[in-house]
């Protein structure tokens, strides 16, 4: 379950629980006036929460999620306002419904401006009940409002800290710590929405392999090899478009995903990447394009890897011997990695 659905589900469950508590309060005080009206309002609130729990697993877009959450919030706020009004005003225990609504808005509204606007709506509803309901001491209203504002501030701050930490953890889980490129998990997540099963070409995929990378590690050390990997990613990113991505899937193996790129575009970008990375070391590239070479990430990786293997075989047949000065296989010049 993704973050959006989880947030909707927990929020709807909170509404169900809070209205269930209000229903129990009405049942325990049936001898008081307006209990049938209050029960009807709270049962409507419970029903909206249950609908939210049911719909949370079926929400597919962000807009639909916002609409569902906003509808549940309005029903809950209306039930809280009517219940408090019918139970004597803001001095009634039913006014605690405004507190639970405040906590819900602070915890489950991701955008700060929207959260502030909704909290203003909650406070305005409380003040409307304070004016139209039974008489209430100004000190009581002030303490209630101050408590709601403090709760909103604390809950929203904590929720945003946790959201930021979750975002950072997701980013760390999807990135290669050495190069900053995507790792296999990040690659799978990035490509998950790119394959639609249509007949239009794309996406395309490139497999990159640094030729004789082991020579760099053996002759210049692992620090030089790490630096070469970082420079490879940097050089490739300078060529790629904003919507494309590069991932490190092995020691010196990289995969580039080209969004909405046909075979000719993929070949052109592969040539540019080869030239950019070739300033540091020799690289072999294999390409594949959907839907001709497959309709999934795994199928494209297999096709591109097979072409990469053929490129490397051809290169090994052509090369009579490795370059004496290390050009192509090792960094150019004595100062490329700080070693001769």
Residues 67 and 137 in one domain: yes
215 lies in some domain: yes
38 lies in some domain: yes
> Residue 209: exposed, middle, or buried by beta-carbon count in 10 A (0-12, 13-18, 19+)?
buried
CATH at residue 269: 3.30.70.270
13 lies in some domain: yes
Q: What is the edge-to-edge ordering of all strands in the sheet holding 253-258?
A: 245-248, 253-258, 204-210, 283-289
Lowest mean pLDDT among 83-87, 177-181, 190-194, 284-288: 190-194
> pLDDT per residue over 36-73, tens digit each?
999 999 999 999 999 999 988 887 777 888 888 889 99
> pLDDT per residue over 280-294, tens digit each?
888 999 999 988 898
Q: Which domain holds residue 206?
A: 184-318
Give ∠ CA 17-21-23 in degrees, rounded to 5: 115
Residues 126 and 230 in one domain: no
Residues 31 and 105 in one domain: yes
182 - beta bridge partners? 175, 247
328 lies in some domain: no
Residues 136 and 225 in one domain: no
Total-model pTM: 0.59
Non-local CB neighbours of 121 within 8 Å, separated by 6+ positions: 77
Nearest one of 73, 98, 69, 63 to 9, comparing CA atoms: 69
> pLDDT per residue over 122-173, tens digit each?
999 999 999 998 888 889 899 989 999 998 898 888 888 887 887 778 777 8
Residues 135 and 190 in one domain: no
247 lies in some domain: yes
Residues 135 and 229 in one domain: no
For residues 26 and 34, give the distance between their C-alpha atoms in angstroms, rounded to a whole number: 9
């Amino acid at each position: 379950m993704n973050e959006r659905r989880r947030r909707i589900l927990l929020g709807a469950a909170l509404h169900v629980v809070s209205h269930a508590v209000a229903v129990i309060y009405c049942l325990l005080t049936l001898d008081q006036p307006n209990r049938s009206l209050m029960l009807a309002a709270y049962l409507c609130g419970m029903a909206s929460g249950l609908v939210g729990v049911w719909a949370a697993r079926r929400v597919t877009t962000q807009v639909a999620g916002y609409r569902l959450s906003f509808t549940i919030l309005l029903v809950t706020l209306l039930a809280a306002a009517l219940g408090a009004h019918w139970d004597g005003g803001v001095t009634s225990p039913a006014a605690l419904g405004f507190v639970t609504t405040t906590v819900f808005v602070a915890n489950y509204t991701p955008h700060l401006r929207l959260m502030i606007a909704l909290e203003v709506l909650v406070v305005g509803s409380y003040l409307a009940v304070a004016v139209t309901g039974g008489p209430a001491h100004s000190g009581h209203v002030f303490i209630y409002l101050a408590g709601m504002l403090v709760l909103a501030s604390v809950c929203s701050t904590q929720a945003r800290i946790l959201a930021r930490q979750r975002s950072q953890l997701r980013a760390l889980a999807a990135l290669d710590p050495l190069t900053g490129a995507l790792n296999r998990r990040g690659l799978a997540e990035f490509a998950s929405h790119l394959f639609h099963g249509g007949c239009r070409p794309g996406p395309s995929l490139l497999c990159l392999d640094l030729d004789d990378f082991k020579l760099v590690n053996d002759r210049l050390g692992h620090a030089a090899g790490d630096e070469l990997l970082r420079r490879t990613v940097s050089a490739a990113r300078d060529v790629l478009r904003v919507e494309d991505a590069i991932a490190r899937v092995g020691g010196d193996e990289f995969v580039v995903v080209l969004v909405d790129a046909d075979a000719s575009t993929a070949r052109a970008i592969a040539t540019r990447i080869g030239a950019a990375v070739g300033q540091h070391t020799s690289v072999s590239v294999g390409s594949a394009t959907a839907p001709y070479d497959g309709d999934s990430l795994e199928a494209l990786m297999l096709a591109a890897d097979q072409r990469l293997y053929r490129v490397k075989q051809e290169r090994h047949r052509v090369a009579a011997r490795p370059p004496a000065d290390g050009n192509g296989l090792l960094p150019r010049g004595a100062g490329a990695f700080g070693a001769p």
